[in-house]
A and B are shown apart, each in its own frame.
Chain A
């Protein structure tokens, strides 16, 4: 049994961490985040719902609604599910909200840590594989009902193209060519995107399409929150292009959301 040590101690020189991974540092110090449930299944935890991403010729657009539900209760109405992962990639997570947010924080730290230690960024594929490894590490909890499923997208600087990855609960990693969705409203959003996606989208069209897909999902799925103009709650939208990750401001999204809602039947 390894001795559990404090996470942030004094400086440790030549620590026997096997690689440039931050997760390995945490593991080495016995400080990796753990959720020990014991026997039984968890229920009633807030869950983050619909997230989606779609490609356009210059990059990728990723969006998520803001609602988290616990059973039939709206637990939070301003949750963020979409985050920049580093300069050229973004990550969104659906599933048990508390774990998902921790996982994102860990993933962001991991990418930055690797970059600083090694002096170069991980390749986009390397980042996706690492995320898959993190999900796989969560498998035991997934069987107890604490499921976390991300979407990951980025601009592949080596290949000069936007790429999009979806995952499953065992850490399977899938390259998606056009669009991907997950979460309780994912099915509905996917049906919408199937009809709306085309190979010649512009970035503005892709953003509008992403928001409209979320609206479509929110109309069918009670756990997905649509844009709430009165209370100023709007989906989170980020774009990833050669120039990097850009988060759209609420003002930008509000105007697109307003016109999307206008056009809905």
Chain B
């Protein structure tokens, strides 16, 4: 007969957290930034078809780093959750807070009950009519839910990128300036240059009447980088 090992819960949680952090820390960074015209999402992504940033609903976007299949599962579940809610009730009833809460519950559940935790870190961004109405929710691999102000950074070199951006953050920044600042901060912190076509950028446009999510095309990124 085999005797089960005793593992103290502190150790178990720590091991799981270390495991998840290791995966996430390798993920290429994503920056989410509140600016006058909306919420800007910028990430480095070598693939043009596997997205890390996505549209969830009229005014809500999703960004994830870590294992692609895991945050993609979360994104798809989020789209289904939002579309079902909007279809059953009304479009205005779909909120970033509700979605972030759902993610938090789900990730918390997985962290403590599944074989292995999800190696993901995600942001749910909701653009308001004014910048004060914006919401940035950060959900971590263990279900920790926090709200961020001004900006959120995910993935490798998180702290350094945050520091660099905090230093020059100005809510009045235009789209181009914000894009340039975000790209520069990521490049400087990760110490390598990124080709123009390897940036994945999108914005939730504050003035949009319905669907506010728009991907920035290469020419827009190029203009900000030149």
Which of B79, B110, B211 has the largest number of chain A CB atoms within 10 A? B79
Compute how far the CA of A117 lies from the CA of B80 in the bound complex, rounded to whole angstroms. Answer: 9
Residue of B nearest to A87 (CB): B211
B106 within 8 A of A: yes
Assess whether B55 is in contact with A116, with CB atoms less than 8 Å apart.
yes
Q: Which of A31-72 contact B (CB under 8 A)?
A: 31
Assess whether A10 is in contact with B55, with CB atoms less than 8 Å apart.
no
Question: Of the candidates A13, A25, A105, A119, which one forms a contact with B84 in the assembled complex, judged by CB atoms under 8 Å apart?
Answer: A25
Instruction: Compute the total of residue contacts between A and B using a CB distance below 8 Å.
Output: 60
Given the contacts A13-B74, A116-B54, A116-B79, A105 and B103 also touching, CB distance less than 8 Å: no
Given the contacts A11-B78, A11-B103, A116-B56, A22 and B73 also touching, CB distance less than 8 Å: no
Compute how far the CA of A252 lies from the CA of B99 in the bound complex, rounded to whole angstroms. Answer: 40
Chain B interface helix/strand/loop/mixed: helix
B11 within 8 A of A: no
B85 within 8 A of A: yes
Assess whether A12 is in contact with B77, with CB atoms less than 8 Å apart.
yes
Binds B, one of A106-114, A149-157, A163-171: A106-114
Given the contacts A25-B84, A109-B87, A112-B83, A119 and B77 also touching, CB distance less than 8 Å: no
A8 within 8 A of B: yes
B102 within 8 A of A: yes
Q: Beyond A8-B88, A10-B102, A26-B84: 18 further Cβ-contacts under 8 Å?
A: A11-B77, A11-B81, A11-B105, A11-B106, A13-B77, A13-B106, A13-B110, A14-B77, A22-B80, A109-B86, A109-B87, A112-B83, A113-B79, A113-B80, A113-B83, A116-B54, A116-B56, A119-B49
